[in-house]
A and B are shown apart, each in its own frame.
Chain A
């Protein structure tokens, strides 16, 4: 597709429940990025992929967060045993290349509310 598609748009989970978010990058884009945006506009980088391989996972809280990008499937971000502080908007972005003048295209985000 011509845009990054994220599903669902909204997700509500009780504390301790699992949450799974999906991202379909733009066709032909090799790089996928996940960000968490909390209050006051702060973005936190979580993880990036080059095709199905993890490129950078320095932002991932590894205890409960995991992510995958498998061939011919949407990428996914999964949170086991959600906590209240996981409430945020999770954005996925994709890019064709890395390097100068590379533009990352963002999806509309998934708003996760943990109650």
Chain B
């Protein structure tokens, strides 16, 4: 399973766009990239998933370059409630993910 590297923490202000980059240099052909969000005292919550290029949903965008060795989670116009830990995961989703492998995550602090 590919290992991921993310910044330990990031700071932002309300209304700004936040981009969190994750490195996964040894990502395998069958690996998908998934991002989860975790608030204090809660379980992780799925945000977005992609394989290549760009994926967008109602809460975020995920940018994946052609070599897939990194990915960037983009949160548009963050609010105070986006303060959380964000995890980047890579894993095989073809024949099935037997498990999600979490890194240490990025702690995002959004200030007024």
Contacts and interface: CB of A to CB of B under 8 A. Distances in A.
B41 A108 contact: yes
B112 interface: no
Contacts of A100: 32, 51, 93-94
B104 A103 contact: no
Contacts, number: 66
Interface string B53-90: 00000000000000000000000000000000101000
A101 B49 contact: yes
B41 A106 contact: no
B29 interface: no
B98 A91 contact: no
Contact of B43 (A59, A91, A101, A103): A91
B102 interface: yes
Contact of B45 (A33, A41, A43, A106): A106
Given A106-B43, A107-B43, A45 B49 contact: no
B55 to A, nearest CB: 10
Interface of A: 4, 33, 35, 40-43, 45, 48, 55-56, 59, 91, 93, 98-109
Given A102-B97, A109-B43, 19 more contacts: A4-B43, A35-B102, A43-B87, A45-B100, A48-B98, A48-B99, A55-B98, A59-B99, A91-B43, A99-B93, A100-B51, A100-B94, A102-B93, A103-B46, A104-B46, A106-B42, A106-B44, A108-B41, A109-B42
* Closest 3 pairs (CB-CB, A-B): A106-B43, A98-B96, A43-B102
11 contacts: A4-B43, A41-B105, A45-B101, A91-B43, A93-B100, A100-B51, A100-B94, A104-B46, A104-B100, A108-B42, A109-B41
